[in-house]
Each structure stands twice: as C-alpha cells, then as structure tokens.
Amino acid sequence: MRLKSIELSGFKSFAKKTPLEFASSITSIVGPNGSGKSNIAESFRFVLGEQSMKSMRGRRGEDMIWNGSAAVPRAGRAGVKLVFDNSDRALNLDFDEVSIERVVHRDGVNDYLLNGSIVRLRDVAELLSQANIGSSGHHIISQGEADRVLTASSRERREMIEDALGLTAYLYKREEAGRKLDKTAENMREVQALRRELAPHLKFLGAQVKKIEQAQALREDLAVLYAEYLKREQTYVSITKKELAGELHEPSAEHKTLSERINHLRVSLSKKLDDKGASELVRLEEESRAVAKKQEAANRELGAVEGELRAHERLAKEAGGTVPVAEARGFAERVLKELEAGGNIAALVVLAKEFLRRLTHTPTAGHSKGELETKKAQLEKELAHLRTQEEHTRHAVAKLRKELESEKDLSRDAERELFAAMARRSELETSLAGLRAREEMLKRDEEQYKQEFREAAVLLGHLPETEVLFDDEPREAQAERRRKLERLKIRLEEAGLGNSTEVLREHQETTERDAFLERELQDLELSAGKLRQLIEELTKTLETRFVDGIDKINTEFEKFFKLMFGGGSASLAIVKDKKLRRGAGEAHDGDEEEIVDTDIEVEEGVEISIALPHKRIKGLHMLSGGERALTSIALIFAMSQVNPPPFLILDETDAALDEANSRRYGDMIETLARHSQLIVITHNRETMSRAGVLYGITMGSDGVSKLLSVKFEEALAVAK
C-alpha cells in the first residue's frame, strides 16, 4: 500500500484546493515560518479521524475551516482527502485505489467518506488499523512533539507502542468483542428478566394444569368405577327381578287357589241345612206324638169294646148279670184316689181285680155284639194303620237326625279347612307382602339405576366397556361403591374444569415461550462464552505480541540510541503499576467498610531507561533539549523500524540537531524510507537533501498557503 496523494480544500490556510503527490519515498516540505507547513501535517491527523482539536491547534471543528482574509472569503467547509494505492490489497477493500475523506462543516458536523461513500468514523479507523495506521497518530510527529513519547505517562506510552506495533487491530477486535459481550450480557439480562416475569405465571399455569390432569385422572377413575357400578347394578336388577318373579310364582299361585277355595268354602258353609232340618224334626216328632195319642185312644177304646164283648159272652152263658154304674163310678174314684195318693201298684192291682170280679157279674146294657165286633175290627184296623204311621215317622226322624248329624260333621270339616286355608293364606300374604316390598325396592333401584346411567352419560360422555361377573358380593359393597362415586363426583366438581382447554393452551404457549427464552439464553451464554474466549485469546495475542514487540523495539532502540549518542544504552521495560481503585464505596462518603473493600488494579505501562555515554545521567528529566530530541527520535525510529507504518510524518523533528546529528538523522531517514513513505517538514538542509520530492509552501498577503514543486536549490531558497 502506498500513499498517493493528499488534497486539502478549505482546510486552515489552504483556502483553495491543494493536492500534494507523494511520488517519492521521501517527500520534503519546506517553507518560511507561518506559511502553513504544519497545517499539512495536521491535515493528515484530521483526515485520519483525529478527534482532539487541541492536537490540531484548534478549539473546535470550525477552527479547521479557512477563516477568510481581506482577499479570499472564508469557506463553509474544510475537506482533506487521502488517496492510497491499494493494488496490494493491504486495505481489505476490493479497489486498486482507496480514498479516505473527512469534511467538517461550520456547524461542527463531520462527514467521513470512503471512496466517496459516507461511512462511520469507526469504519475508517478499522480499515486503517489493518494497514497499521493507528489512531494514536504515532506516525505523525508534530512540531515540538517529538519528545511526547518521553513525556507521556507509562500507560500512554504503552498505547503508542501498541499502536506502533500494529496491535490496534487486535485492540479493536477486543473492544468490539467487549462491546458485543456487554450487549450479550444486556440481552441476557433482558431475557432473564422476561423469564423472571414469566415464571410466576408459568408456575400458576403449571399448578392449574396439574389440577386439570388430576381432574382428568379423577374423571377416568370415575368412568371406570361408574362402568363397574352401573354394570353391577344392571346385573343386580335383572337377576333380582328374575329371582323375585321365581319366588313370587308359587305363593301367588297358591294364594289364588286358596282364595278360590276359601270362597267356595264360604259359599258352601253359608248354605247349611241346620234350621230347616230342626223344624222338620220338630214337626216329625209332633206327628209321632199325635200318632201315639191316637194309638192310646184306639187301644183304650179297643179294650172297652173287647170288655163289652166278653161281658156279652158271659151273660150269654149266665143269662146276663150287670154291674151297676154307681159301682163302676166308685171304682174309678178309688183308682183315681189311689193314683193321686202316689199310686201303689199292688193296691191298684187289688182294686182292678175286684172291679173285674164285680164286672163279670154285671151285664152290659146298650150295644149289640155285632156292633162291638165291627167296632173292634175297625179299631184294630186303625191301630194297624197308626202303627205303620208311627213306624214311618220314626224312620223319618231317624233319617233326619242322621242327616243332620252328618251335615254337622261336614260343616265342621269345612270350617276347619276354611280356617286352615285362611291361616295359610295370611301366612302367604305376609311372605307375599315381603316379596312385594322387595319388588317395590327393586323398582326403585331400577329407577335409580336409569337415573344414574343418564347422569353418568351427561357427566362423562361415554363409559368404558367393562366385563363384570355377578359374583354375588354383598349389596353393601355396591353401596360403598356408590359412596365412593359420590365422593369422586364432589372432588371432580371441586376441581372445577371450567376453561381447561384455554388454560392448557396458554400453559403450552407459555412453556414454549419460556423454552424459547431458555434456548435464547443458552445461545446468548454460548456466544458470551465464545466472546470471552475470543477476548482472552486476543488478550493473550496482544500480550505476547506486545512483549515480543518490546523486545524487538529494544534491540532497535539500543542500536539507534548508540548511533545517535555514539554509545550508551537505552531500553524499554514493561511495568505493572499497582493502582488502588475505590469500589462502589466511593459514592457513599464516610462509609469505611466500603473504602476498605477496594480493588487493586494492575495497569501495565512502559518505562524508558537510558544511560548516556560518559555521563552518569539516568533520568529522562535530566537530559538537555538536544539529548531529549535524540532519545525520542531513536525511540520513534526504533518503533517505526520494528513495524513500519505505511507513512511517517516528521514535522521539524530535526530542529534541535547539530550538524553531526543531522547527518545521522538523515541516514536514519533513509533507512526508514525503505519500508515507510516519509514526509518530512524541515528547515534542515541535510534532511532536504535526502528527499526525492520537495514542496515549497508560501503564503502571500492574502493569507492563503500556496504549494509549489521545487528543486533542491530552490527549496533552500524557499525555506529561507
């Protein structure tokens, strides 16, 4: 990569567009004091992105813009453009020529352009760092600032050396990685915050889902239990129904038969002959008594008739004697008297015999024998008839009595049967009532079963198939099952599965979101880890390169130092400055505990030690102006030698050198020019003589710096 040209327009004293070509490896800029030479050096700083106005002798951006003079009006903007030949692609851009331009406007706004396109300052800085053009400007040595490397703090010095060693690119990378790490950490905090925010909701949803799952399990348990319960109930109802029907069959039939029999017995018992038979018997007995009376009367009459007939026969034999009536009457009265006195049979027999003796001697008067005989036959006939009649009645009574007797027996049997039947029937009715009650209960069970079946269908949709054998378990087991069902139903109700699908969906979404965030966090952690590793690696690289670089610089430093001073020695050393840094406690005044809790920060810096030949001087502060200039030139050149920058600008770095040292300086310039393009602003003839191209700067009364290419001899004239 080679610096082709720089073009100033409106920058400081360069009011007009002024291009400088750098065709040679050493370009010298000469001119009288105040003509604008240093403005050119500063234009390099400017275009390379210098942010410190002070280092460009200004206070603000506007100070960089041509401020006008009596002859030339002030400009609105200052622009500087650098052009590089990039055919070796040292700058990572696919262009043979790369231009970098910076423009500052009066309002202080800066534009950076890369090949004409607006870019960020960072883009410019990063691009240049690839070509070892760092931002510390170590390759632009301003007027009077050559010993800056000596006056700087060890830490600043370290930065300058890092820059010179081309470690800026690594530093940029490390910074970039650090920024990314910060950003990653911030993202991680955000993601963590999001997860923290999500956590209680997720926890809540998780608990809900658990409840829902428990309820689902409950529902499944319920379905299984319901299925068994209902199946058992159905089996129970149908089997018990059959059983009851079987048990009812016989007693019902018997009851029916018994009822019929009872009715029949009742009917037949109500038809008994008792009363009718008794009155008939009375009638028959009266009839019998009447016949007996008639028989007695007929017998008495027959006796009288037969007596008369016998009297007739005696009379006939004895010529008839009769018994006086008075005598008969007397006999009857005595018989009666005897009867009334208690009736002595023997006395009555005496009486009767006597009377009969008398009668035998008393003839009857009145009736003829024929009449008496007719009468006798008549009476005998009558008696025979009465005897038949009596016989007949006696038979009838006996028959009736027998009939009545047997009827009485019959009705007693019927009654016995009736009572037995009624007893049996009431016995049957009791057991039938029991059976009916069971039937009634079963009917209720069946109703309940149907109701429960409907309920289960509504509650559970469908029931699992189940095979339940009727294992004749006690009915209580089924009741226990139902109580369990009720308890399950209550628990299910309490679980309240209202908007379960919504909760499940939200839980899933939230879980997914959380998982996404977790993955993102893992990714972030991974990239944070990678970044930390990168930073560590870069730090290591920087460390080794730095240590390595210091070694190399030391070799060159020693060489240049000896060359400049004709002896002595010089070296750089890495030092670790321990610095107490107050922690958070700083914000809380007087908080001793916090102050005690401080960090010790180790800062690495670079110290310079020198030993002049034949002198005992060791400290930098004891050097003369010239010695200081020589020491800093030795160091600057050593740095540039180890890692040559594309170009090096030296603004009157040689001002303090005497003739002998000017020559040595000239030699060193030529050595450096092998690897870097040199732009030297100088009044020194020796230095001028080493340049391939010379530019003379002049300033007229218009205050505008003008550029002219000059020959060596002309340059000497211009410089004066």
Nearer to ligand ATP, 67 or 671 (CB): 67
One of 67, 252, 322, 554 touching ligand ATP (CB under 6 A): 67
Quote the CA–CA distance of 311 and 257 in Å, as a whole number: 82
Nearer to ligand ATP, 106 or 582 (CB): 106
Closest CB 64 distance from ligand ATP, rounded Å: 7
Closest CB 50 distance from ligand ATP, rounded Å: 15
Nearer to ligand ATP, 106 or 483 (CB): 106
One of 31, 134, 549, 645 touching ligand ATP (CB under 6 A): 31
Closest CB 595 distance from ligand ATP, rounded Å: 49
| All residues at 6 or more sequence positions from 51 whose CB lies less than 8 Å from its CB, including other chains | none
Closest CB 38 distance from ligand ATP, rounded Å: 3
β 97-105/110-114 pair status: antiparallel
One of 6, 25, 37, 359 touching ligand ATP (CB under 6 A): 37
Segment 694 to 713, residues that bind ligand ATP, using CB under 6 A: 703
One of 66, 172, 229, 331 touching ligand ATP (CB under 6 A): 66
**DSSP result, 495-560:** H--TTHHHHHHHHHHHHHHHHHHHHHHHHHHHHHHHHHHHHHHHHHHHHHHHHHHHHHHHHHHHHH
| All residues at 6 or more sequence positions from 38 whose CB lies less than 8 Å from its CB, including other chains | 57, 142, 143, 651, 681
Q: Which two tokens stand for residue 513?
A: 């979101």
* Cβ 541 vs Cβ 170: under 8 Å: yes
Closest CB 665 distance from ligand ATP, rounded Å: 18
* Cβ 570 vs Cβ 557: under 8 Å: yes
Q: Is 129 in the site for ligand ATP (CB under 6 A)?
A: no
Select from 102, 83, 107 the least CA-distant residue to 9. 102
Using the rule CB under 6 A, give the single segment among 59-67, 160-168, 186-194, 688-696 that binds ligand ATP: 59-67
Nearer to ligand ATP, 314 or 683 (CB): 683
Q: Is 143 in the site for ligand ATP (CB under 6 A)?
A: yes
Nearer to ligand ATP, 27 or 643 (CB): 27
Three-state DSSP at 268 gives helix
Nearer to ligand ATP, 626 or 703 (CB): 703
Interaction mask 88-127, ligand ATP, x per CB under 6 A: ----------------------------------------
Q: Could you tell me how many residues make up the chain?
A: 720
β 599-611/647-651 pair status: unpaired
Quote the CA–CA distance of 273 and 696 in Å, as a whole number: 180
Closest CB 39 distance from ligand ATP, rounded Å: 4
Using the rule CB under 6 A, give the single segment among 27-35, 119-127, 265-273, 575-583 that binds ligand ATP: 27-35
Q: Is 18 in the site for ligand ATP (CB under 6 A)?
A: no
Total of residues contacting ligand ATP (CB under 6 A): 15
Using the rule CB under 6 A, give the single segment among 26-34, 84-92, 279-287, 582-590 that binds ligand ATP: 26-34
Which residues are 3's β-sheet partners?
84
Closest CB 186 distance from ligand ATP, rounded Å: 43
Closest CB 140 distance from ligand ATP, rounded Å: 14
Using the rule CB under 6 A, give the single segment among 35-43, 422-430, 464-472, 572-580 that binds ligand ATP: 35-43
Burial class (CB in 10 A: 0-12, 13-18, 19+), 64: buried
Closest CB 649 distance from ligand ATP, rounded Å: 12
**DSSP result, 668-720:** HHHHHTTTSEEEEE---HHHHHT-SEEEEEEE-TT--EEEEEE-HHHHHHHH-
Nearer to ligand ATP, 129 or 142 (CB): 142
One of 17, 19, 23, 34 touching ligand ATP (CB under 6 A): 34
Q: Which two tokens stand for residue 464?
A: 């699992």
Quote the CA–CA distance of 575 and 607 in Å, as a whole number: 7
Phi and psi of 119, rounded to 5°? Answer: -135, 180
What's the DSSP call for residue 97?
Answer: E
* Cβ 554 vs Cβ 572: under 8 Å: yes
Q: Which residue is nearest to ligand ATP (CB)?
A: 33
Q: Which two tokens stand for residue 136?
A: 């510390």
What's the DSSP call for residue 586?
Answer: G
Segment 216 to 245, residues that bind ligand ATP, using CB under 6 A: none
Q: Is 33 in the site for ligand ATP (CB under 6 A)?
A: yes
Residues making contact with ligand ATP (CB under 6 A): 12-13, 31, 33-39, 63, 66-67, 143, 703
